[in-house]
Structure 1
Amino acid sequence: MLAHVEEDVDGLAALIQRVKDEKGWGFTTIARRSGLPTSTVHSWATRVRGTGSRGPAPEKLRKLAKGLGLPAAEVFEAAGRRVPGPLSPDEESHFLHMLRELDTKERRVVLATMEAMRSDKEASQ
């Protein structure tokens, strides 16, 4: 599994370096545009430190994609992460409506189930 994480970090590093070189941006510019700490962008691009056993968090990858001006799918793929599927406004509304009808205990069960599903998918990659 460690080799897989290292390969993923290399793909993300290459993507950041490519955009940096193409646009003439520094790490500070990328970080500012992404809403991320400069140290985070720098470490991903130079592989100075790891990104954890599961790689960068999806929220951070979305921010990076926006800052780089790239589709989220491209950044997720470079990081070796499963690309989240699209969620229509109607689907989101339906999920939230159903979730709001649950009591606290039921919501915890739903959350735990969703987290387990995500972990299973990440482990199988």
Structure 2
Amino acid sequence: MTNQQSTSGDTDPGHDPARRDEDLAALLERLLTQAPGRTQKDLASEAGISYPTLNAWMNRTRGTSRVDPEKLRAMVEAFRRWGVRTTPREFFEAVGRPVPGPSGDEREARLLKLYRQLPESRQRALIRDAEAMLQVSRIT
């Protein structure tokens, strides 16, 4: 593993461990200042988030512990398209959640192939188990 790669598989250019206590509002504020000419409305539009929701996160009037991981990743991608260096790790840490492991196409395809081979009752059980694992990972 290189210095530029985290254990979650995300490249981590310029990750500053001193910023681990940064909440989502502070992170977004900092990253928006690195994207001259871009606004909260631009970020909301680019990431597929309603502007009132994003604004509430930035004003700390709405909690962020249940933000959909795909929304976090969408914000990362929006900033990257704007030339701002950031990582999913920064966003997950900012909302106080464990950083999901890497999910390559190959791994997802294998999981889907196995899932499709299971009888329906086992598919439902697998989903329940996966949801339980996710809940436990959010607590620990």
Q: Which TM-score band (shorter chain)?
A: 0.7 to 0.9
Q: Structure 1 CA distance, aligned partners of 2:78 and 2:49? A: 9
Q: RMSD of the TM alignment (CA)?
A: 2.0
Q: What's the offset of the Cα at 1:79?
A: 1.6
TM-score by length of 2: 0.73
Q: Deviations over 1:64-90 (max 9, x none)?
A: 211222321221122221111112332
Q: Is the 8 A contact 1:12 1:45 kept in 2?
A: yes
Task: Count residues with an aligned counterpart.
Answer: 115
Q: Is the 8 A contact 2:35 2:79 kept in 1?
A: no
| Unpaired stretches in structure 2, ≥5 consecutive residues | 1-19, 81-85
Q: Which structure is higher in helix share?
A: 1
2:91 corresponds, among 75, 78, 83, to: 75
Q: What's the offset of the Cα at 1:55?
A: 2.9
Identity across the alignment (%) = 32
| Unpaired stretches in structure 1, ≥5 consecutive residues | 1-7
Q: Structure 2 CA distance, aligned partners of 1:117 and 1:89? A: 21
Q: Deviations over 1:61-116 (max 9, x none)?
A: 11121122232122112222111111233222211111001122111100000000
Q: Structure 1 CA distance, aligned partners of 2:71 and 2:107? A: 24
